[in-house]
Protein backbone atom coordinates (compact mmCIF):
# COMPACT_ATOMS: atom_id res chain seq x y z
CA UNK A 1 0.00 0.00 0.00
CA UNK A 2 1.44 3.37 -1.01
CA UNK A 3 2.39 5.68 1.81
CA UNK A 4 0.42 8.97 1.73
CA UNK A 5 2.47 12.04 0.82
CA UNK A 6 3.97 13.89 3.74
CA UNK A 7 2.34 17.23 4.48
CA UNK A 8 4.65 20.15 3.71
CA UNK A 9 6.23 21.92 6.67
CA UNK A 10 5.01 25.46 7.21
CA UNK A 11 7.16 28.36 8.30
CA UNK A 12 6.48 29.63 11.77
CA UNK A 13 6.31 33.16 13.05
CA UNK A 14 9.35 32.49 15.25
CA UNK A 15 11.43 31.10 12.36
CA UNK A 16 10.88 34.13 10.13
CA UNK A 17 11.76 36.62 12.86
CA UNK A 18 14.76 34.55 13.93
CA UNK A 19 16.00 34.56 10.33
CA UNK A 20 15.78 38.37 10.28
CA UNK A 21 17.70 38.53 13.56
CA UNK A 22 20.40 36.28 12.08
CA UNK A 23 20.52 38.35 8.90
CA UNK A 24 21.15 41.45 11.02
CA UNK A 25 23.77 39.63 13.10
CA UNK A 26 25.66 38.43 10.03
CA UNK A 27 25.75 42.02 8.73
CA UNK A 28 27.05 43.29 12.06
CA UNK A 29 23.81 45.14 12.80
CA UNK A 30 21.11 45.23 15.43
CA UNK A 31 17.48 44.63 14.45
CA UNK A 32 16.84 48.38 14.45
CA UNK A 33 20.10 48.97 12.56
CA UNK A 34 18.98 46.55 9.85
CA UNK A 35 15.61 48.27 9.55
CA UNK A 36 17.25 51.69 9.25
CA UNK A 37 19.76 50.44 6.65
CA UNK A 38 16.81 48.98 4.71
CA UNK A 39 15.11 52.37 4.52
CA UNK A 40 12.41 51.36 7.00
CA UNK A 41 11.26 52.80 10.29
CA UNK A 42 13.99 51.87 12.83
CA UNK A 43 11.44 50.04 14.98
CA UNK A 44 10.12 47.82 12.15
CA UNK A 45 12.08 44.73 13.23
CA UNK A 46 12.08 45.37 16.98
CA UNK A 47 10.89 42.55 19.23
CA UNK A 48 8.14 44.79 20.61
CA UNK A 49 6.60 44.97 17.11
CA UNK A 50 6.34 41.19 16.64
CA UNK A 51 3.20 40.73 18.72
CA UNK A 52 0.19 43.04 18.84
CA UNK A 53 -1.17 44.53 22.05
CA UNK A 54 -3.87 41.86 22.14
CA UNK A 55 -1.36 39.03 21.74
CA UNK A 56 -1.70 38.31 18.00
CA UNK A 57 1.41 37.45 16.02
CA UNK A 58 2.57 40.19 13.65
CA UNK A 59 4.55 38.98 10.62
CA UNK A 60 7.11 41.01 8.65
CA UNK A 61 5.94 41.98 5.19
CA UNK A 62 7.53 40.51 2.08
CA UNK A 63 8.48 44.06 1.10
CA UNK A 64 10.39 44.63 4.33
CA UNK A 65 12.21 41.29 3.94
CA UNK A 66 13.11 42.15 0.34
CA UNK A 67 14.50 45.52 1.43
CA UNK A 68 16.53 43.87 4.19
CA UNK A 69 18.03 41.40 1.70
CA UNK A 70 18.95 44.23 -0.67
CA UNK A 71 20.48 46.30 2.14
CA UNK A 72 22.72 43.39 3.21
CA UNK A 73 23.49 42.20 -0.35
CA UNK A 74 21.97 38.84 0.58
CA UNK A 75 20.08 36.38 -1.58
CA UNK A 76 16.72 34.78 -0.93
CA UNK A 77 18.52 31.42 -0.76
CA UNK A 78 20.67 32.77 2.05
CA UNK A 79 17.59 33.97 3.94
CA UNK A 80 15.97 30.53 3.57
CA UNK A 81 19.11 28.98 5.06
CA UNK A 82 18.81 31.32 8.03
CA UNK A 83 15.29 29.99 8.62
CA UNK A 84 16.74 26.50 9.15
CA UNK A 85 17.28 24.80 12.47
CA UNK A 86 21.10 24.77 12.36
CA UNK A 87 22.17 28.40 12.11
CA UNK A 88 25.60 27.96 13.66
CA UNK A 89 27.05 25.76 10.94
CA UNK A 90 30.03 27.65 9.59
CA UNK A 91 32.60 27.33 6.86
CA UNK A 92 36.06 28.85 7.04
CA UNK A 93 36.70 30.89 3.92
CA UNK A 94 39.80 32.75 2.71
CA UNK A 95 40.04 36.41 3.70
CA UNK A 96 42.08 38.66 1.42
CA UNK A 97 42.73 42.36 1.34
CA UNK A 98 41.39 44.02 -1.80
CA UNK A 99 44.92 45.08 -2.81
CA UNK A 100 46.19 41.56 -2.17
CA UNK A 101 43.39 40.12 -4.30
CA UNK A 102 44.52 42.16 -7.26
CA UNK A 103 48.04 40.72 -7.16
CA UNK A 104 49.15 38.17 -9.73
CA UNK A 105 48.54 34.59 -8.62
CA UNK A 106 45.88 35.40 -6.01
CA UNK A 107 43.18 33.67 -8.13
CA UNK A 108 43.12 30.87 -10.65
CA UNK A 109 41.60 31.17 -14.13
CA UNK A 110 38.09 30.39 -12.83
CA UNK A 111 38.17 33.14 -10.22
CA UNK A 112 38.77 30.87 -7.22
CA UNK A 113 41.38 31.85 -4.59
CA UNK A 114 44.66 30.13 -5.42
CA UNK A 115 46.81 28.52 -2.73
CA UNK A 116 46.59 29.10 1.02
CA UNK A 117 45.77 32.55 2.37
CA UNK A 118 47.13 33.71 5.68
CA UNK A 119 43.77 34.83 7.08
CA UNK A 120 40.36 33.17 7.21
CA UNK A 121 36.91 34.04 8.52
CA UNK A 122 33.87 31.98 9.49
CA UNK A 123 30.95 32.34 7.10
CA UNK A 124 27.63 31.23 8.65
CA UNK A 125 25.58 28.77 6.58
CA UNK A 126 27.91 28.90 3.60
CA UNK A 127 26.91 26.85 0.57
CA UNK A 128 29.70 27.70 -1.88
CA UNK A 129 32.94 25.87 -1.17
CA UNK A 130 34.80 28.46 -3.25
CA UNK A 131 33.41 31.50 -1.40
CA UNK A 132 35.92 34.01 -0.10
CA UNK A 133 35.98 37.35 1.69
CA UNK A 134 37.57 40.65 0.66
CA UNK A 135 38.41 43.43 3.10
CA UNK A 136 37.80 46.91 1.73
CA UNK A 137 40.69 49.32 2.11
CA UNK A 138 40.31 53.07 1.74
CA UNK A 139 37.21 55.13 1.08
CA UNK A 140 37.02 54.96 -2.72
CA UNK A 141 33.66 53.14 -2.55
CA UNK A 142 31.94 55.23 0.13
CA UNK A 143 29.13 55.38 1.08
CA UNK A 144 28.30 51.82 -0.06
CA UNK A 145 31.48 50.26 1.34
CA UNK A 146 33.87 51.83 3.83
CA UNK A 147 37.42 51.16 4.94
CA UNK A 148 37.48 47.89 6.93
CA UNK A 149 34.17 46.53 5.61
CA UNK A 150 34.26 42.87 4.58
CA UNK A 151 32.37 41.56 1.56
CA UNK A 152 31.76 37.88 0.85
CA UNK A 153 32.05 36.80 -2.77
CA UNK A 154 30.46 33.61 -4.14
CA UNK A 155 31.70 32.48 -7.57
CA UNK A 156 29.00 29.77 -7.71
CA UNK A 157 26.02 32.10 -7.16
CA UNK A 158 24.13 33.06 -10.34
CA UNK A 159 24.43 36.72 -11.32
CA UNK A 160 21.56 38.93 -12.40
CA UNK A 161 21.21 42.53 -13.46
CA UNK A 162 21.37 44.82 -10.43
CA UNK A 163 23.63 42.51 -8.40
CA UNK A 164 26.79 43.89 -6.84
CA UNK A 165 29.76 42.08 -8.29
CA UNK A 166 33.54 41.83 -8.33
CA UNK A 167 35.15 41.90 -11.77
CA UNK A 168 38.74 41.00 -12.56
CA UNK A 169 40.12 41.97 -15.95
CA UNK A 170 42.72 40.09 -17.93
CA UNK A 171 45.29 42.79 -17.08
CA UNK A 172 44.77 42.22 -13.33
CA UNK A 173 42.47 45.12 -12.40
CA UNK A 174 39.93 44.39 -9.65
CA UNK A 175 36.69 46.39 -9.86
CA UNK A 176 33.56 46.39 -7.70
CA UNK A 177 30.24 47.71 -8.99
CA UNK A 178 26.64 46.93 -9.86
CA UNK A 179 25.95 44.82 -12.93
CA UNK A 180 24.10 47.02 -15.38
CA UNK A 181 24.18 44.93 -18.55
CA UNK A 182 25.99 41.88 -19.85
CA UNK A 183 26.09 40.56 -23.39
CA UNK A 184 28.27 38.20 -25.36
CA UNK A 185 30.47 41.17 -26.30
CA UNK A 186 30.35 43.67 -23.45
CA UNK A 187 29.98 44.07 -19.71
CA UNK A 188 28.53 47.29 -18.29
CA UNK A 189 29.21 48.07 -14.65
CA UNK A 190 27.50 50.86 -12.72
CA UNK A 191 29.76 52.72 -10.32
CA UNK A 192 28.94 52.55 -6.60
CA UNK A 193 29.77 56.26 -6.34
CA UNK A 194 27.26 58.68 -7.83
CA UNK A 195 29.97 61.08 -9.04
CA UNK A 196 31.94 58.37 -10.88
CA UNK A 197 31.20 57.26 -14.45
CA UNK A 198 30.02 53.74 -15.26
CA UNK A 199 32.56 51.28 -16.68
CA UNK A 200 32.30 49.34 -19.92
CA UNK A 201 34.44 46.28 -20.60
CA UNK A 202 34.86 44.14 -23.67
CA UNK A 203 33.91 40.55 -22.80
CA UNK A 204 37.33 39.40 -23.98
CA UNK A 205 38.95 41.66 -21.35
CA UNK A 206 37.02 40.12 -18.40
CA UNK A 207 38.89 37.28 -16.71
CA UNK A 208 35.98 36.51 -14.36
CA UNK A 209 33.00 38.02 -12.57
CA UNK A 210 31.52 36.91 -9.23
CA UNK A 211 28.60 38.06 -7.11
CA UNK A 212 28.86 39.75 -3.71
CA UNK A 213 26.41 37.80 -1.52
CA UNK A 214 26.64 39.81 1.72
CA UNK A 215 28.71 42.34 3.59
CA UNK A 216 29.79 42.88 7.17
CA UNK A 217 29.89 46.57 7.93
pLDDT one-digit tens code per residue, 127-175 = 677 888 888 888 878 778 888 888 888 888 889 998 999 999 998 888 9
Interval 81-117: pLDDT, tens: 787 654 444 567 777 777 667 666 667 777 777 665 5
Q: What CATH code is assigned to 90-216?
A: 2.10.109.10
Fold of the CATH domain 13-83: 434 Repressor (Amino-terminal Domain) (1.10.260)
Interval 190-215: pLDDT, tens: 998 877 899 999 999 999 999 988 77
Q: Which whole-number Å values give the CA distances from 211 to 2, 102, 156, 164, in the listed order?
A: 44, 16, 8, 6
Around Cβ 70, how many Cβ atoms within 10 Å?
A: 14
| Residue 48 DSSP SS3 | helix
What length does the chain have? 217
Task: Return the pLDDT at 195.
Answer: 78
Determine the Cα–Cα distance for residues 79 and 20; give it in Å rounded to an integer: 8
Interval 54-75: pLDDT, tens: 889 999 999 999 999 998 878 7
Residue 47: which of 29, 32, 67, 26 has the closest Cα? 32
- The residue ranges of every structural domain in the chain are 13-83, 90-216
State whether the Cα torsion 132-138-144-148 is positive or negative. positive
Determine the Cα–Cα distance for residues 215 and 99; give it in Å rounded to an integer: 18
Amino acid sequence: MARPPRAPRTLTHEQIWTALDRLAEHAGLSASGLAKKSGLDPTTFNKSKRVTADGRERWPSTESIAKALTATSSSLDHFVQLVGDSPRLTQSIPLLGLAQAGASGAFDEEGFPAGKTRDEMALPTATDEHAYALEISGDAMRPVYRDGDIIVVSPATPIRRGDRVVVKTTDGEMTIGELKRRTARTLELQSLKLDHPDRNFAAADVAWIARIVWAKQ
